[in-house]
Chains A and B, each alone.
Chain A
Amino acid sequence: MNIAARAAAATGSVTPEIVAEHGLSPDEYKLMVGALGREPSLTELGIFSVMWSEHCSYKSSKVWLRKLPTEGPQVIQGPGENAGVVDLGDGQAAVFKMESHNHPSYIEPYQGAATGVGGIMRDVFTMGARPIANMNALRFGAPDHPKTRHLVAGVVSGIGDYGNCMGVPTVGGETNFDPRYNDNILVNAMCVGLADASRIFKSAAKGIGHPVVYVGSKTGRDGIHGATMASAEFDDASAEKRPTVQVGDPFTEKLLLEACLELMAEDAIVAIQDMGAAGLTSSSVEMADKGGVGIELELDRVPTREEGMTAYEMMLSESQERMLMILKPGSEKSAERVFRKWELDFSVIGYTTGTGRIVVRHRGAVEADIPLAALAHAAPVYERPWSKPEPQPLVTPEQVPAPDSQLGALERLIGSPHLSSRRWIWEQYDHMVMADTVQRPGGDAAVVRVHGTGKGLAISCDVTPRYCAADPYQGAKQAVAECWRNLSAVGADPLAITDCMNFGNPERPEIMGEFASAVEGMAEACTALSFPVVSGNVSLYNETNGAAIPPTPAIGGIGLIPDIAMMATIALKRPGDVLMLLGEESGHLGQSLYMQVMLNRSWGAPPPVDLDAERRTGDLVRGLVRSGSLSAVHDVSDGGLLVAIAEMALAGGHGVALDAPPGPQPDHAIWFGEDQARYVIAASPDEADAIHKAAAAAKVPLRLLGKVGGGAIKLEGEPPLPLSTLTAAHEDWLPRFMARG
């Protein structure tokens, strides 16, 4: 029997067992009784439990999140709304957010991932934006784990089917395989939308006696206590929680999108919020609380798809594709016409009041009557104990054995699960619908044109979990810097980020220490790069049977390209071009993919991030891209310099002849070291002089790497590595892995 059924069977009395099953500690229950002034009813207990869950209340993370910079001249709306909003000029704004759907996706990969995508798109169109691009950041377990293929297949298909049906292009993302995600995969979905800067819709209810309107799908019993599930650790019995996973219907969401945007063009909506986690409860409580009003709900008017649903079930259902709106009085009829046209449910289920309370009536009885302040503000805020992560020793290049052949190592790296082509994944996503995708998956950042203009929005998702595991502070800094670098590499001005903070159990001091360190690293990088956080979510308790995931602060950034004609891509385009490296080389191999793939182990500190160097180098690259001096650009990240060069060669179908590395570091440290703040650029020899001068003026080291041309990667003293061999290595692994019987 699930929580809801047990609670319903308990005929009104709230026992300590029921409290515990709702994920509340005895102290939290005491606090709740104090805030309410009496013992709660079961429905009230359910409402409190979801509002005070980690997922909704951020009770463990709040004190740390305040350290993140959230402001800037480009920021129209920072954290606290359904999504963040930044200014794109010309009266346009980008609305974006990333959110996790980890636990549901592990239990039921297809529906879990699909509803994650559906939820994030609702967060964006709730604010008046048309979604124009989706991305996702996926972390799976080891390839040889028996569940991995099942999870990859289900998640990718779920993401694809939802986004494809919605007609929103999924333009990129990233995927990692690591045994530390074996029993707790991560599915982080990001959505970017486009809105009129003057027509942003928010969630604060205003006015008294205004109608509260329910639109979208009917309410069922699915997803009850999803938010509570997302706030607890997993164990072997977690599969029993399958009934708490929601089921998605992208067709209904497409109708809901069009209906909402159609109504938003009129002057009818006071406030609107998606019924996401904790469904009707969180949407009604948050809207009323933000607006400083009260709210009364008549549950008999909630459209349901099952007979005999209780108030408890209706308030806690996480059925998908639903929205709650506060309308201007008198506009109900015209609003209803819009939703009926799109064949969606529309029901006035209550009204705003001046009481500051939420009152829930069902079948003539008051099922809940709670002061909103108690739900929204009396929730506990924890300053959990934390311990600083142990710093790892710096590894010198000499400590890391060299390969027999550099090109042999390249071939192995680029064909490994970590660097192999993700084509098998993104070909299952419609990445071209809306006919504005001007940079498709596979580059540094995806770029979608701002419809009807020559402007482009660059989007990238980044984090390197193995760095974060070794040093959450440097790792989080690196994640922000890499995102900023990827946007700069295509020629965009980085604008802002959204984050998905995936961590283990915050009640353990070492996990809380990871979280605290990561926030500090992010804050430092965001501040130094003028790259504020405007939205995001925190996903804690990513543990199964006591084993936590590596700290994974996924960063989703967007940037603006003023003129897509001046955008850069990674593909080498012309034989005869010169290839150059911008940035400092120290041959840092600690935590590199070279170590992991060639030596099958990881040790040492991750590469340090010099934010001044990042800024200098990124600004230089962006300037060169915009002046049209470069024919190709690629940032150097996973796998190091030789991998970056190979990816450029593969994308363009042109080989390169490389000069011998200058030393003093060993060759393999130069080729596979993962020093940060670096870019490989290609340009016509005529431009080389001017580029040298610009780099010198910007105090950015520049090294000539070689020449573009031929059909192979050529390195002195080794047989050439034909692009056809490299392509086969790069493209082979994932499809073969997924086809394995």
Chain B
Amino acid sequence: MKASVIVFPGSNCDRDAAVALEAATGQAPAMVWHGDSEIPASDLIVLPGGFSYGDYLRSGAMAAHSPVMREVVARARAGTPVLGICNGFQVLTEAGLLPGVLMRNATLKFVGRDVLLRVERSDSIFTRRYVRGEVVRFPIAHKDGSYFADEATLQRLEGEGLVAFRYCDETGAITDAANPNGSRRNIAGIYNATGTVLGLMPHPERLAESPLGGTDGAKMFLSLVETLH
């Protein structure tokens, strides 16, 4: 699997994503600078976490208009899988590849800790190594992670099975107490209509090897390798 990681000024999880990708695929991904308008042939494009353009204006808003994003959008529309993590999820919503928006956390504070997620689908290219309904542990680290969309959009996401992950408790129950940021319906990540674009606030790349305290995140990268070769 050939992957490309897009690097915006202010990206800071680009290396973490590259390390996790290399561990899963055996080859280092291409690191693509935001000013480039060309992306090498890729089986997967990753928009990493961080503070692109300082999160000034609005998280992800300026990155969504950088030269490289035109190409990302074109590739995504043509079917290339795209994974947006944290700030990458924010960029995907700002670029219109995913619906909704990430608002300031309900606590109005940055939150960095491990959370539990329920895997809503195990038939996507990102999640086939997981079991549907499985509870996994990923870290979150964000200030603007409260997923919001209007009621009609939420209904459509639910109806079409486009919710990827939800914040949950140990038993998999979707509770307010398990929701770290006030996201609507505890949504932590969503797919586009074709299931080829995934945006999520939690960081799978940060719990992808046991010295870091867990390996639940590694399965996402292994799922991608399995599907995309």
Contacts and interface: CB of A to CB of B under 8 A. Distances in A.
B112 to A, nearest CB: 5
B54 A167 contact: no
Contact of A342 (B9, B55, B141, B143): B9
A214 interface: no
A735 B112 CA distance: 15
Contact of A164 (B16, B110, B113): B110
Interface string B1-28: 0000000011011011001100000000
Interface string B203-228: 10110100111000000000000000
B54 A165 contact: yes
B70 interface: no
A428 interface: yes
B16 A449 contact: no
Contact of A429 (B112, B205, B206): B112
Nearest to B35: A341
A654 B13 CA distance: 35
A251 B141 contact: no
Interface in A260-278: none
A166 B51 CA distance: 8
B212 A435 contact: yes
Given A343-B9, A438-B212, A254 B51 contact: yes
A617 B210 CA distance: 30
Interface in B86-121: 109-113
A570 to B, nearest CB: 15
A435 B54 contact: no
A251 B11 CA distance: 10
B203 A167 contact: no
A438 B54 contact: no
A435 B141 contact: no
Nearest to B13: A433
A431 B53 CA distance: 21
Interface centre among B19, B110, B111, B205 (most CB of A within 10 A): B110
A86 B228 CA distance: 45
A428 B112 contact: yes
Interface centre among B12, B56, B139, B205 (most CB of A within 10 A): B12
B56 A251 contact: yes
Contacts of B55: 165, 251
Nearest to B52: A251
B50 interface: yes
A432 B54 contact: no
A428 B109 contact: yes
B112 A432 contact: yes
Interface string A146-175: 000000000001001100111100000000
Contacts of B203: 432
A255 interface: yes
A255 B9 contact: yes
A435 B112 contact: no
A427 B105 CA distance: 13
Interface residues of B, number: 31
B12 A254 contact: yes
A178 interface: no
A20 interface: no
B83 to A, nearest CB: 16
A430 B56 contact: no
A434 interface: yes
Contact of A430 (B15, B53, B54, B112): B112
A587 B134 CA distance: 51
Contacts of A165: 10, 12, 51, 54-55
A585 interface: no
Nearest to A160: B110
A431 B112 CA distance: 7
B10 A432 contact: no
Interface residues of A, number: 33
A437 interface: yes
A20 to B, nearest CB: 41
Contacts of B20: 435
Interface string A436-453: 111010000000010000
Interface string A240-268: 00000000011110110000000000000
B110 A428 contact: yes
A429 B113 CA distance: 9
Contacts of B12: 165-167, 254, 433
A421 to B, nearest CB: 12
A564 interface: yes
B16 A434 contact: yes
Contact of A438 (B9, B15, B113, B211): B211
A249 B205 contact: no
A672 B11 CA distance: 47
B206 A251 contact: no
B211 A161 contact: no
A565 B212 CA distance: 11
A432 B9 contact: no
Contact of B110 (A255, A430, A440): A430
Contact of A435 (B35, B53, B111, B206): B206
A251 B54 contact: yes
Contacts of A433: 12-13, 16, 49, 141, 206
Nearest to B48: A167
A71 B18 CA distance: 39
Interface string B45-64: 00001110111100000000
Nearest to A452: B19
A250 B53 CA distance: 10
Nearest to B203: A432
Interface centre among A254, A435, A437 (most CB of B within 10 A): A435
A429 B12 CA distance: 14
B173 to A, nearest CB: 20
Nearest to B217: A435
Contacts of B53: 251
A435 B16 contact: yes
A212 B56 CA distance: 32
A343 B34 CA distance: 12
Contacts of A428: 109-112
A167 B50 contact: yes
Contact of A167 (B13, B35, B212): B13
Interface in A446-480: 449
B51 A427 contact: no
A232 B170 CA distance: 54
A403 B172 CA distance: 44
Given A157-B109, A430-B141, A437 B9 contact: no
Contacts of A343: 9
Given A161-B110, A251-B53, A251-B54, 18 more contacts: A164-B110, A165-B54, A165-B55, A166-B12, A167-B13, A167-B51, A249-B54, A251-B55, A254-B54, A343-B9, A428-B112, A432-B112, A432-B206, A433-B16, A433-B141, A435-B20, A435-B206, A437-B212
27 contacts: A157-B110, A161-B110, A161-B143, A164-B110, A164-B141, A165-B55, A167-B12, A167-B51, A251-B10, A254-B9, A255-B10, A343-B9, A427-B113, A428-B109, A429-B112, A430-B141, A432-B206, A433-B141, A434-B15, A435-B15, A435-B20, A435-B206, A436-B212, A437-B212, A438-B213, A564-B211, A565-B211
Ranked 6 nearest A-B pairs via Cβ: A167-B12, A251-B54, A435-B16, A430-B141, A165-B51, A430-B112
Interface of A: 157, 160-161, 164-167, 249-252, 254-255, 341-343, 426-438, 440, 449, 564-565
